[in-house]
Chain A
Amino acid sequence: MLVGHQPKEFLLAVEALTVSFDGFKAVNDLSFYVEENEIRVIIGPNGAGKTTVLDLICGKTRATSGSIQFRGQELTKLKENQIVQAGVGRKFQTPSIYDDLTVFENLEISFPRGRTVFGALTFTRDAIVRDRVHEVAEMIFLKDRLNVNAELLSHGQKQWLEIGMLLIQDPELLMLDEPVAGMSVSERVKTAELLNRIIKDRSVLVIEHDMKFVEDIAHKVTVLHQGQILSEGTMEHVKNDPKVIEVYLGH
């Protein structure tokens, strides 16, 4: 299946992707395609290679073979920061924010301007930056906490802050690794609401274990097992797939 032969251009086309760590194939001949404005959720048992797939797309791990095309651009050859600049944003599993900086500064660093050494030296905090930071802070429920050091935030707020840092980057593909893990029920509801709001005009790739949450947001679900696709389709389809019930949902 070649991208060129498709009637529709995919935003992300992962083809025959394989990575092996000392002979162990964490991801094995994996192919999947993400469309524009699609929310794709990847589920699967522990060790299925879900996080590794995100690592491969964002360049944290290098593929042994295969290709990752993003808007026709080959990502496997780019450096991490070039992949970000191409329009791929990634949220890590544990909240990855800058504890020693304020919420404002955390968001400001992710604002896509002044990313070179010289650009960072001459960066000025003008009205555009301020407005955008305030706008995003409002979305992520942190507008009252802009001047608070990020380390003083609660776990859920840290997760939101990191989502906000990605939002301000304005990526075309947003990858989220377990965005609601460790959150309280009310925080989950707010996060789902937040995600539903931010997915406009972009595609989202989410890893999540919380089935209720997956059902709420997913357009399409990919089930990974031992580095390979076990099943793919709507949540309804995947839920009733006997293979999936056998290895994952049944437990």
Chain B
Amino acid sequence: MTDNRFVNRSELIGILLLAAFLVVILPLCLDVFRLNLVAKYLTYAFVALGLVICWGYGGILSLGQGVFFGLGGYCMAMFLKLEASSVENTKIQSTPGIPDFMDWNQITSLPLFWKPFHSLGFTIVAIVLVPGLFALIIGAAMFKRRVGGTYFAIITQAVAAILTILIVGQQGYTGGINGMTDLRTLKGWDIRPDHAKIVLYFFEVGCLFVCIFIAQFIRHSKLGRILVAMRDKEDRVRFSGYSVANFKIFAFCVAAIFAAIGGAMFALNVGFMSPSFVGIVPSIEMVIYTAVGGRLSILGAVYGALLVNFAKTSLSESFPELWLFGLGGLFIAVVLAFPNGLAGIWSDYVEPQFVRLITSRKSKPVDGWTEKSVADGAPAE
């Protein structure tokens, strides 16, 4: 019988391996600077994870995940910025107690929508709710009208462009093109020194695993199977009594919230937030991480985000002008040669070798193993 638990054995091994890699191996092998870079890469793993649910399983290609990454990041950054803009920190400003960029833009009092961000509790709720509600509105407007596929992708691109323009244009409220910089403390705890970076790294990894488990739960629930069914035969799902639009909205909202958590982690770990993580190009890059990792693989998304970002850092250090060509080439190569990404390479080539090694040691090979793995392998990873 098909497995109905939310983690099966091979997935559990995969999760434990990833945990060992992120919690033990990387912190032991890397210095704080490099570990902090990994923390930055991992913020994109949240986005990629959301895209696995939304794009991989649900077939909804969003080219605007930067929007939600940005909304989450800005919510976090607003809280941190307010804390960094205490009256004594900003006493040289003409209006002390407001963020520096507001002062530069001749704003004399804190705008109303900034005020609740004095509270960490509100901020945490906002990180989830603001992008969640925004995705709900976009999703409801699109999916209830049966806008899908390419049109949906283009609209998400437009939203990403609009939000970037809005952030850049409203410099006095958002920090403009420079974004929100000089973030210092979280509830009085300095986030800049090395030991704080390490703590934040582990906190982020913890959050990532919570999201991985949520994604696993969704994937193994009937909802996960309905998403796959919808990707395949939308009408059949509709005429089986389901409101297809609601399921799409759900998948899109989950992806948005994951992306927003990633954005908030970015603001914490990297110490600033700017519109350059919101727009069209970063949104497309996020899709590439997912494609490289394998759009059907929850863990693949994490490795994809790590690998592409690692390549980005190393290659853009040595060949800054060639990097974008490399990224484009990588995307084309993955789509053409390995449509299931790293996870596909793993399950098609590496895992069978392991299985052969293990089964050849056993005296009796299990009959029907190959047939079952073919049947299981196609929809999953």
Interface residues of chain A, those whose CB is within 8 Å of chain B, are 58, 60, 79-81, 84-85, 89-90, 92, 96-102, 104-106, 108-110, 112, 114-117, 120-125, 130, 146-149, 151-152, 162, 165, 169
Shortest Cβ distance from B296 into A: residue: A100
Between B218, B233, B238, B240, the greatest number of chain A beta carbons within 10 A of the residue's beta carbon is seen for B240
Between B1, B232, B241, B378, the greatest number of chain A beta carbons within 10 A of the residue's beta carbon is seen for B241
Known: A90-B239, A123-B223. 9 other contacts (CB 8 A): A58-B239, A60-B239, A84-B240, A92-B236, A97-B233, A98-B228, A100-B378, A125-B4, A165-B240
A123 to chain B minimum Cβ distance, whole angstroms, is: 4
CB-defined interface of B240-275 with A at 8 Å, one 1/0 digit per residue?
A: 111110110010000000000000000000000000
Q: Report yes or no: A112 in contact with B241, Cβ–Cβ below 8 A.
A: yes
Shortest Cβ distance from A58 into B: residue: B239
A79 / chain B contacts, CB cutoff of 8 Å: 243
A71 to chain B minimum Cβ distance, whole angstroms, is: 16
Interface residues of chain B, those whose CB is within 8 Å of chain A, are 1-2, 4, 218, 221-223, 225-226, 228-229, 231-233, 235-244, 246-247, 250, 372, 374-375, 378-379
Q: Report yes or no: B378 in contact with A109, Cβ–Cβ below 8 A.
A: no
- A84 touching B241 in the complex, CB below 8 Å, given contacts A101-B228, A117-B246, A152-B375: yes
Which one of B1, B222, B238 contacts A80 once the chains associate, using CB atoms below 8 Å? B238
Bound-state Cα–Cα, A114 to B372, Å: 28
Which one of A98, A122, A147 contacts B236 once the chains associate, using CB atoms below 8 Å? A98
B231 / chain A contacts, CB cutoff of 8 Å: 100
Q: Report yes or no: A96 in contact with B233, Cβ–Cβ below 8 A.
A: yes
Bound-state Cα–Cα, A87 to B5, Å: 32
A152 to chain B minimum Cβ distance, whole angstroms, is: 7
Q: Report yes or no: B232 in contact with A99, Cβ–Cβ below 8 A.
A: yes
Q: Report yes or no: B226 in contact with A109, Cβ–Cβ below 8 A.
A: yes
A82 to chain B minimum Cβ distance, whole angstroms, is: 8
Bound-state Cα–Cα, A64 to B221, Å: 40
Which one of A80, A98, A120, A123 contacts B247 once the chains associate, using CB atoms below 8 Å? A120
Shortest Cβ distance from B57 into A: residue: A100
A112 / chain B contacts, CB cutoff of 8 Å: 241
Shortest Cβ distance from B380 into A: residue: A100
Q: How many A-B contacts at CB < 8 Å in the complex?
A: 105
Which one of A96, A147, A152 contacts B1 once the chains associate, using CB atoms below 8 Å? A147
B222 / chain A contacts, CB cutoff of 8 Å: 108-109, 114, 120-121, 123, 125
B338 to chain A minimum Cβ distance, whole angstroms, is: 18
Bound-state Cα–Cα, A90 to B240, Å: 8
Bound-state Cα–Cα, A116 to B372, Å: 31
Bound-state Cα–Cα, A148 to B250, Å: 29
- A96 touching B235 in the complex, CB below 8 Å, given contacts A79-B243, A104-B1, A148-B375: yes
Bound-state Cα–Cα, A110 to B236, Å: 9
Bound-state Cα–Cα, A98 to B228, Å: 8
- A115 touching B228 in the complex, CB below 8 Å, given contacts A96-B235, A123-B222, A149-B379: no
B244 / chain A contacts, CB cutoff of 8 Å: 81
B136 to chain A minimum Cβ distance, whole angstroms, is: 12
Identify the 5 closest CB pairs spanning chains A and B, nearest first.
A84-B241, A120-B223, A123-B222, A100-B379, A98-B229
Bound-state Cα–Cα, A89 to B240, Å: 7
Shortest Cβ distance from A85 into B: residue: B241
B147 to chain A minimum Cβ distance, whole angstroms, is: 17
Q: Report yes or no: A109 in contact with B225, Cβ–Cβ below 8 A.
A: yes
B292 to chain A minimum Cβ distance, whole angstroms, is: 21
Bound-state Cα–Cα, A120 to B221, Å: 7
B194 to chain A minimum Cβ distance, whole angstroms, is: 41
B223 / chain A contacts, CB cutoff of 8 Å: 117, 120-121, 123
Shortest Cβ distance from B233 into A: residue: A96
A140 to chain B minimum Cβ distance, whole angstroms, is: 16
Q: Report yes or no: A98 in contact with B375, Cβ–Cβ below 8 A.
A: no
- A147 touching B225 in the complex, CB below 8 Å, given contacts A84-B241, A115-B242, A116-B246: no
Shortest Cβ distance from B218 into A: residue: A121
B156 to chain A minimum Cβ distance, whole angstroms, is: 21
Bound-state Cα–Cα, A105 to B375, Å: 12
15 contacts across the A-B interface (CB closer than 8 A): A80-B238, A80-B239, A81-B243, A81-B244, A90-B239, A92-B236, A104-B2, A108-B225, A109-B237, A115-B241, A120-B221, A121-B218, A121-B221, A146-B1, A147-B2
